[in-house]
Amino acid sequence: MGPWETYVRQCGEVHVIGEDVQAALEQFAFLIGRFRCEARLKMPSGEWQTFEAGWEGRWILNDRAIGDEYRVFAADGKLLVLGLNVRAYDAEKKSWNIKWVDGLSGRWTDLGPEELGGVQFDGNSVSYRFKEPMMAHALTRATYTNISERHFTWKGESSEDGSQWTEFMVVECERE
């Protein structure tokens, strides 16, 4: 028994992850690992610009949450985006708590809050909406699709009213 297990047993705080929480977290398990990505961003001119990106996810907090880092680089290697998603499932409320912290500004964003529809699972895709803190539009819908053992696609769509959506970013990720 290691020092952490000894500490936990001494404190009497042995916690087991419930099957409902484990099953919920498995829905985002495709993010676990290291991915090399190509991010395409639609510019105001309508042209698409391509950036190198990376995504790395891991189990955190004794496997009770997923933390995944995302980075985007300019052609000269300058870091343009650096952030961390923290994904946890609240079994009591049967809802997700997903937060993004922008490592460059220190700002936190709620992803997929219930008032915007929460997190939606539809076959081989996952989506959620959030109030956009960085872009010129009001709302973003993030969709993970084309999910396989080696690949996933992240698609960002913008909206001003939550009913009409326009694609503005596509990130293709391949497992390293």
Task: Report the number of distinct structural domains present in the chain.
Answer: 1
Asked, for residue 154, whether it belongs to a domain, the answer is yes
pLDDT tens-place string over residues 58-83: 999 989 999 999 999 999 999 999 99
Mean local confidence (pLDDT), 91-109: 95
Asked, for residue 1, whether it belongs to a domain, the answer is no
The span from the CA of 129 to the CA of 127, in Å, is: 7
Mean local confidence (pLDDT), 147-165: 96
Asked, for residue 5, whether it belongs to a domain, the answer is no
Asked, for residue 55, whether it belongs to a domain, the answer is yes
Asked, for residue 2, whether it belongs to a domain, the answer is no
Q: Say which amino acid occupies 56.
A: E
Per-residue pLDDT at 108 exceeds 90: yes
Q: 100: which residues sit within 8 A by CB, 6+ positions away? A: 83, 84, 85, 108, 109, 111, 130
> What are φ and ψ of residue 151, in 5° steps?
-150, 150
Per-residue pLDDT at 145 exceeds 60: yes
52 - beta bridge partners? Answer: 73
Asked, for residue 6, whether it belongs to a domain, the answer is no
pLDDT tens-place string over residues 6-21: 444 555 555 567 888 9
Residue 17: the pLDDT is 78
Domain holding 113: CATH number? 2.40.128.20
Mean local confidence (pLDDT), 115-131: 95
Domain that holds residue 101: 16-175
- Pick from 88, 90, 135: nearest CA to 99: 88
pTM (two decimals): 0.88
Residue 11: the pLDDT is 54
pLDDT tens-place string over residues 22-57: 999 999 999 999 999 999 999 999 999 999 999 999
Residue 2: the pLDDT is 54
The answer to whether 131 touches 138, Cβ cutoff 8 Å, is yes
